[in-house]
Structures are given as C-alpha cells and as structure tokens.
Amino acid sequence: MKNPIADLNKIFDSRIRLGVMSMLVVNNEISFNDLKQMLELTDGNLASHLNTLEQAEFIKVHKGFIGRKTSTTYSITVLGKQAFKAHLDALEKMIKKL
Amino acid sequence: MKNPIADLNKIFDSRIRLGVMSMLVVNNEISFNDLKQMLELTDGNLASHLNTLEQAEFIKVHKGFIGRKTSTTYSITVLGKQAFKAHLDALEKMIKKL
DNA sequence: GAAAGTGCTTTGTTTTTCAAAGTTAATTAA
DNA sequence: TTAATTAACTTTGAAAAACAAAGCACTTTC
C-alpha cells in the first residue's frame, strides 16, 4: 500500500486557500472584498493567502473598476484548476475506501 | 451565501491527521509502526499528531502484544467517526458546486 | 552483553498563520 | 477643500503548529 497523503497538495492544506479555490472554481471572477466577507478574514490574512496562490500561479489578479471605484478581482488559472482537481482527486481516492 | 469553510473541522486541516483518520475508518486497528511507515513520518511527529487526535477523543489507544513484542495500536472512536464524516460532508458541500 | 526494535517524550528550530497597524490612492461627504 | 471613507494592500510582530533529532525505558534477539 502506498502513502495515502502523498498526492495531496500542500498549498491546499489551508482551509482558507481551499475556500478561495472552491469559490473561484464556480465563479470566474470574485473581488477581494467579496472573498474577505465570505471567508470572514482580515485584509492582511486574505492578502497573504492570495499571494501564496498567486505565487503558485493558481490564481490571477485583475485590477479594474466597478463604476468609478477600484475593484481588484481574482480568477483561477488553468494550472490552478488542474492542481485543485488533482488535489480533490487525491482526497477522494484517500477516502474512497469508505 | 454563507462562509464555505466554516464547517470544516480545524483538526483535519492537517494532511497527516486526515491521513490517520482515513486509514482508521477502514482498518479498525492500526499499529504505531504501520502508521509511521505508511505516512512516512518520524516517531515524534506521528506521536504528536496522534496525541492531538487522542485529546479530541477521535481515536483511542490499545497497548498490547504481537507475540511477545509490545505493540501499540490505534482505533477510531464513535465521536471520531462522526467528526470525520461531518468534515467530509462539509468538504463535499463546499466543492459540490462543480 | 551488545545491538536493535517499540513507542514515546523532550528540546529546539523552522514554518505557518494571523491580527493589527500603517500605507497609498482614489472617492465621496461636509 | 478638507475631512472622512473605502479598497487593497504591505509590514511587523506575535502566537501557534509542524517537525526532526535526540534521549529514554523497556524488551528481545543475536
């Protein structure tokens, strides 16, 4: 038998990054503010997790406007989608023995 | 919409504890050594994660023998099964929108 | 009787997480 | 026009968690 946790992606150990990704899988663009409110996080905390995901190239940023207000939105990348799916598959395989 | 990660159990953020639990769900008794080898961990690291799970009363310990050798085995508790299931349900709900 | 195995505990370092406060820039209210 | 607000950060620092390595008590095997 092989190590059941070896295929889990370390980046997704964090519930917050998991939450961000799961939200971005279904919504192709979400604002910083919406993420912050949905996940109930402080600015700094969210920003640093987003940064981790960005470094990994799992998400990308778009700086734009809503009306005349600045609005930063985030979306998932192809790589991000793949990695997230792979992680979920690994999770599923791990617990599929139920 | 409500916070998608609120129902995830913090104890299962750890890949290692997740791995231990998923192994104990399908095998009703696993030895310290087997867990250590399967998950590729050092003694101290495994022991401390097992301790966390034990504190939460999600697993319990049995000190016994295999032949004449000491053997410590672990099994999941009813509470542990419930908590693990609840966590998996929360995870599933979170990503079910796929 | 020396070496090795089991299952820890202790110690200390590294990594991760997080909140709080400060920052920049634009925007609206007074 | 100045003050206050909002958005989206960055920086700082503290607390928590993860982890490896070493030590330890006990037993067993060589």
Q: Which residues contact B49 (CB under 8 A, 6 or more apart)?
A: B14, B16, B17, B20, B41
At residue B73, does pLDDT exceed 80?
yes
Split at pLDDT 50, 70, 90, the class of B68 is confident
- Nearest by CB to residue B15, choosing from A13, A19, A22, is A13
- The whole domain housing B26 covers 10-93
Q: What is the mean pLDDT of residues A57-73?
A: 84
At residue A98, does pLDDT exceed 60?
no
Split at pLDDT 50, 70, 90, the class of B22 is very high
Q: Per the domain annotation, does A1 fall within a domain?
A: no
Compute the half-sphere exposure of residue A83: CA atoms within 13 Å on the CB side of its CA. 18
At residue B31, does pLDDT exceed 90?
yes
Average pLDDT, chain A: 92
What is the structure's pLDDT at A34? 94
Tell whether A93 is within 8 A of chain B (Cβ). no
Average pLDDT, chain B: 93
Q: Per the domain annotation, does A5 fall within a domain?
A: no
Q: Per the domain annotation, does B28 fall within a domain?
A: yes
At residue A1, does pLDDT exceed 90?
no
Helix (H, G, I), strand (E, B) or coil at A58: coil
Q: Per the domain annotation, does B55 fall within a domain?
A: yes
- Nearest by CB to residue B19, choosing from A4, A19, A40, is A4
User: In terms of C-beta density within 10 A (0-12 exposed, 13-18 middle, 19 or more buried), how is residue B94 classed?
Assistant: buried
Search chain B and give the residue with CA nearest A19.
Answer: B5
Q: Per the domain annotation, does B4 fall within a domain?
A: no
Q: Give the CATH number for residue B45.
A: 1.10.10.10
Q: Per the domain annotation, does B88 fall within a domain?
A: yes
Q: Per the domain annotation, does B32 fall within a domain?
A: yes
Per residue in B79-91, pLDDT tens? 999 999 999 999 9
In chain A, the number of structural domains is: 1
**CA–CA dist B87, B84 (Å, integer):** 5
Tell whether A47 is within 8 A of chain B (Cβ). no
What is the structure's pLDDT at B66? 73
CB contact under 8 A, B13 and A13: yes
At residue A97, does pLDDT exceed 80?
no
